[in-house]
């Protein structure tokens, strides 16, 4: 009985911290954020940058050329926040990402990808629930996390996954 209570509690937490990836009830909540330029060059660090598929291919991984092999193109570890404007848990994660981008300026980069606009990228990473956060170390394989995580969990992931030498 205790096992079932724990399992039900865990399922409840997951359901409260993730949105399914449907297109219902979109809002037009837009926030001004730094964009990577169209040629893929970064214009600044310490800010969250929104990427489209072409910028992702230039800055992170060109999945069209290396579909079977992960070849990271970046010079710093990366966190990629897959989100949608209508997703309440995504809105809870957004200010945490802004804080982390400023706190880890020059050590990591944080990108955001709108799954409603970049459906191909969402499909490449099999995004079914958002927010989904991809942790990409400079060397090694990326790791995915789903759901709205608290800031201390992100800091632990940065330390344990991204900053490992």
Q: Which residues are catalytic?
A: 87, 90
**What digits encode the pLDDT tens for the residues 119-129?**
999 999 999 99
In this predicted structure, which of 1-5, 48-52, 104-108 has the lowest mean pLDDT? 1-5
**What digits encode the pLDDT tens for the residues 30-74?**
333 444 444 444 545 799 999 999 999 999 999 998 788 899 999
d(CA 61, CA 39): 15
pTM of this structure: 0.76
The pLDDT, as a whole number, for residue 73 is 94
Superfamily of domain 2-162: Glutaredoxin (3.40.30.10)
d(CA 70, CA 20): 26
């Amino acid at each position: 009985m205790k096992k079932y209570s724990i399992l039900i509690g865990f399922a409840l937490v997951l359901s409260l911290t993730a949105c399914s990836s449907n297109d219902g009830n979109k809002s037009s909540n837009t926030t001004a954020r730094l964009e990577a330029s169209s040629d893929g060059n970064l214009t600044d660090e310490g800010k969250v940058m929104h990427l489209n598929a072409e910028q992702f291919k230039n800055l992170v991984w060109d999945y069209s050329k290396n579909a079977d092999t992960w070849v990271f193109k970046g010079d710093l570890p990366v966190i990629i926040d897959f989100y949608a404007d209508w997703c309440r848990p995504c809105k809870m994660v957004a200010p945490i990402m802004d804080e982390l981008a400023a706190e880890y300026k020059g050590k990591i980069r944080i990108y955001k990808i709108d799954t409603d606009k970049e459906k191909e990228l969402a499909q490449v990473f099999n995004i079914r629930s958002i927010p989904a956060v991809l942790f990409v170390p400079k060397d090694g394989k990326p790791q995915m996390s789903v759901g709205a995580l608290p800031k201390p969990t992100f800091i632990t992931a940065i330390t344990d996954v991204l900053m490992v030498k």
